[in-house]
Amino acid sequence: MNDLLVEFKVNTRIRPCSAHAFELNAGDELVVVDPQGQQVSDLVAFAKSDVREYLSSGRTLDYASKLWLSTGDLLYSNRSAPMFTILEDTCGRHDFTLAPCSREMFETIYGEKEERPGCEGNLEKVLEKYGIDRDCIPTAFNVFMNVGIDPSTGAIAVLPPLSKPGDFIRFKAEMDLVVGLTACSAGQSNNFSYKPIDFRIESPA
């Protein structure tokens, strides 16, 4: 009967321009999938035991000694504790320098007047129940975001993501976590089309 067994991997879909929040136990694996390609997903994380401990860009980049993280790299909290290990990564390019898109960012950079909440507003809404408000939302780990750097001037170019349909990144939680995850709402980051993001949590047997 063994050859009739099928491993089901059920993803949860995050609709375009929205966010989900959920908890992970230490050891859980979080798989973030780009189902259609060229779609960014902002990831923020907080220690479940004390949400003032958060996933820190500045700490992580310092310890990694590189801007672009991938398989084998650790993501650290502001208190220098490992929060995630990247176990697999079929895309290979993500960003950890730019803040989540926001209403003010859309107005300043794109001249938008619609007052869309952006990843920041969407994360604020889903994380409220954990006592995490807007001021607690740090620079996110921007899954699939493709930021080019000019090494002579430091100029940043937000380019179309390198992710193809089905590309994924697998994180292992190194502590009990509260996580916020988005399907990003910023035009330039997503090659100007707003697409969904899928994720699933795999717990060790």
Judged by CB under 8 A, does residue 110 bind a copy of itself?
A: no
Closest distance to a copy of itself from the beta carbon of 75 (Å): 13
- Tell me the closest approach of the beta carbon of residue 87 to a copy of itself, in angstroms: 20
149 binds a copy of itself (CB under 8 A): yes
Backbone angles phi, psi at 88, to 5 degrees: -145, 155
What are the residues whose beta carbons fall under 8 Å from the beta carbon of 205, sequence distance 6 or more? none
Strand pairing report for 82-89 and 74-76: antiparallel
Q: For a copy of itself, which residue of 18, 38, 41, 57 counts as binding (CB under 8 A)?
A: 57
Nearest to 41 by CA among 192, 164, 189: 189
Q: Does 114 bind a copy of itself (CB under 8 A)?
A: no
Task: Give 152's DSSP letter.
Answer: T
Stretches 122-130, 134-142, 159-167, 174-182: which one binds a copy of itself (CB under 8 A)?
134-142
Which positions lie near a copy of itself, rule CB under 8 A? 52-53, 56-59, 61-68, 78-80, 97-100, 102, 104-105, 108-109, 134-135, 138-140, 148-151, 153-157
